[in-house]
Amino acid sequence: MSKLSVEMAILEKSITKLELGFSNLPEIYENTDYKAIESILMDVANKLTNNYPYFHPFYLGQMLKPPHPIARLAYQLAMQINPNNHALDGGIASSEMEKEVIKDISSMFGFYDGTGHLTSSGTIANLEALWIAGKESPEKAIAASEQAHYTHRRISKVLGLPFVEIKNDENGRMDINFLTESLEKYQIGTVVVTLGNTGFGAIDPLLDILKLRELYDFRIHVDAAYGGYFILDDSLEKNIKTHFECIEYVDSLVVDPHKHGLQPYGCGCVLFSDKSISHHYRHDSPYTYFSSKELHLGEISLECSRAGASAVALYSTMKAFPLKQGGDFSHRLQKSRQAAQKLAKFVESSKNYITVWKPDLDIVVWAPRGSSASEISNISHNIFDQCAKYDIHIALFKIPTRMFLEKHQNIDDDNNFITCLRACLMKPEHLIFIDEICNRIKQATADVMESGENYAKKNYSFDS
């Protein structure tokens, strides 16, 4: 039997069981035109082939990871009910599941007396965390590194809070000296610490920032939308692990189950270590909160309607992959990191590349040999295009030339930014294919750099 038929059989069985629970109700006559549905879906399936192959290990471009079959099936099962986790009125069972997953995710980070909920994305989760930060230290600034997700600057604007940008060191991590200077200079209420930033996957030095908190009073918000689950990877290097191990001392945290947690999009999560912040959310609803005196999740979240199916999918996935150090789930993350390390090693040994940022997690950034910022950018674009011809899909990443010069003084800084190559190795299956992936990148690189003319002529324009 094909994978698809096995999955469809499980889905049919479980939906039948669900329907049985409501079999006391009279049947509804539905006049559904399945012929039309089929014909539309055939057309849509055809349109959907116009995508990069996100599900395949040859795709290592953006932060896209296929949901695990259990998550897809559980989501579809829940769709029969389409619960709404705003209030118990709209989703009794799925709200219970959400509370349970929140408890487990909180424990993973050492938050035992906090509060939190799922959100529709990391952006909304960060918005809620910074909104609470602004309530707790009004008018003071939010500080985040220049490599922090751009969302923090935007959210600060939305919230009307001042924003201070902290420089990164040459590894892409927040520069602790620069942070100290900024704490002296500005009224900083909250420092956003990114564990696994979007560009490099780099880990900000949380332990050192906690030590600074003894001297300067500020809140710490950890944006672990990407990297949070790596707390389970017991094979992390000591200097990285240290920062995960002190997460329990921060004020709030964001992790995205739809990034590394095997979930379909629509699943972020915000956690607070101290549940007393809940009063900021206090409001009444004239429509809902009637069915029970128990906590309605809408009472502690900014979003109203939220997909109960997301909670059902995450709950089911966490039953299959409990959040355990050294468990199956952590082994999957470990394989991603191993694949990234192999890619970095290949780049390092190649004469066509001058630099690689060694991955803290599973993201690799590297740059081809070139004599100036604009030449390197140009070659990066060409390699990116050429890789796609070998079915290898990587990403481009614009970094400040200043960061580049800290590693290589001998290039002409004719532009403020350099476009480099970037790969996110989020799937454990990359490891199986890594030699083939490296071979294809090597071939594409040789095409661009060794056959000269054809490629060198193809110029891209850059904004500086």
Cα Rg of the chain, angstroms: 24
Cα 294 from Cα 273, distance rounded (Å): 21
The SS3 call for residue 393 is strand
Question: Binding to ligand PLP by residue 264, rule CB under 6 A?
Answer: no
Footprint (CB under 6 A) of ligand PLP, residues 34-63: 63
Question: Binding to ligand PLP by residue 197, rule CB under 6 A?
Answer: yes
Cα–chain-centroid distance for residue 401?
A: 25
Structure tokens at 443: 């071939």
Question: Binding to ligand PLP by residue 166, rule CB under 6 A?
Answer: no
Stretch that binds ligand PLP, among 157-165, 206-214, 223-231, 370-378 (CB under 6 A): 223-231
Q: What is the maximum span of the chain, computed from C-alpha positions, in angstroms?
A: 78
**CB-wise, 179 or 195, nearer to ligand PLP?**
195
* Shortest separation between residue 123's beta carbon and ligand PLP, angstroms: 3
Question: Binding to ligand PLP by residue 252, rule CB under 6 A?
Answer: no
Q: How many residues does the chain have?
A: 464
Cα 191 from Cα 158, distance rounded (Å): 17
Question: Binding to ligand PLP by residue 190, rule CB under 6 A?
Answer: no
Cα 425 from Cα 423, distance rounded (Å): 6
Which H helix or E strand runs over 188?
Answer: strand 188-194
List 133, 142, 143, 225, residue binding ligand PLP (CB under 6 A)? 225
Question: Binding to ligand PLP by residue 223, rule CB under 6 A?
Answer: yes
* Shortest separation between residue 121's beta carbon and ligand PLP, angstroms: 3
* Shortest separation between residue 269's beta carbon and ligand PLP, angstroms: 10
Distances (CA, A) of 48 to 72, 102, 221, 263, 421: 17, 34, 38, 20, 27
Footprint (CB under 6 A) of ligand PLP, residues 63-82: 63
* Shortest separation between residue 5's beta carbon and ligand PLP, angstroms: 33
- State the angle between helix axes of 430-450 and 328-349 in degrees (0 to 180), rounded to the nearest 10: 20
Which of 330, 323, 320, 309 shows the shortest CA–CA distance to 98? 309
Footprint (CB under 6 A) of ligand PLP, residues 406-445: none
Per the CB < 8 A criterion, the answer to whether 251 and 211 are in contact is no
Q: What number of chain residues touch ligand PLP (CB under 6 A)?
A: 16
Question: Binding to ligand PLP by residue 151, rule CB under 6 A?
Answer: yes
What residue ranges bind ligand PLP (CB under 6 A)? 63, 121-123, 126, 149, 151, 194, 197-198, 223, 225-226, 256, 259, 268
